[in-house]
Amino acid sequence: MFASSLLSSRQRSYDVFPSFSGHDVRRSFLSHLRCEFKRKGISTFVDDQITRSESIGHELVRAIRASRIGLVILTKNYASSSWCLDELLEIMEFRNDARKKVMTIFYD
């Protein structure tokens, strides 16, 4: 389910786009969640190969728009990341689309 190229010229769709602060959950909670999603056949966007910059890139915007669920994992450091807030803004843009959902997990 994971492509070597995160998003190729053809638009890829995902069931879930997780938005999270990497320092807080990447190697703990999120890794377990991704394993469970994979076991259940739920495709999840993975950003491991994306280089961080000051703003989210076109690949992330396309991935967010191509996902059915925006999963926002709120942690103590989430709001201090401009990257996370940009993702959140993009996710909230599609919340009025009946085919897309936004879910939130509060994780401490």
Q: What is the pLDDT of residue 3?
A: 40
CA dist., res. 11 & res. 102, Å (int): 21
Q: Please tell me which residue in 54, 59, 87, 93 is annotated as part of the active site.
A: 87
Instruction: Answer whether CATH 3.30.750.210 is correct for domain 14-106.
Output: no
For range 51-70, the mean pLDDT: 81
Count how many Cα atoms sit within 13 Å of the Cα of residue 12 in the half-sphere of its side chain. Answer: 19
Which residues are CB-neighbours of 21 under 8 A, at least 6 positions away? 73, 75, 77, 78, 80, 81, 84
**Residue 54 confidence (pLDDT) above 80:** no
Which residues are CB-neighbours of 34 under 8 A, at least 6 positions away? 18, 44, 46
Residue type for 86, please?
D
Confidence of residue 73 (pLDDT cuts 50, 70, 90): very high
In DSSP terms, which residues pair with 16 in a beta bridge?
A: 44, 69
What residue spans of the chain are helical by DSSP H?
Answer: 22-25, 29-39, 58-65, 82-93
Is 87 annotated in the active site? yes
Domain boundaries, the chain: 14-106
Angle (nearest 5°) at CA 91 between 44 and 29: 45
Residue type for 20, please?
F
N residues, the chain: 108
Q: What is the pLDDT of residue 11?
A: 58
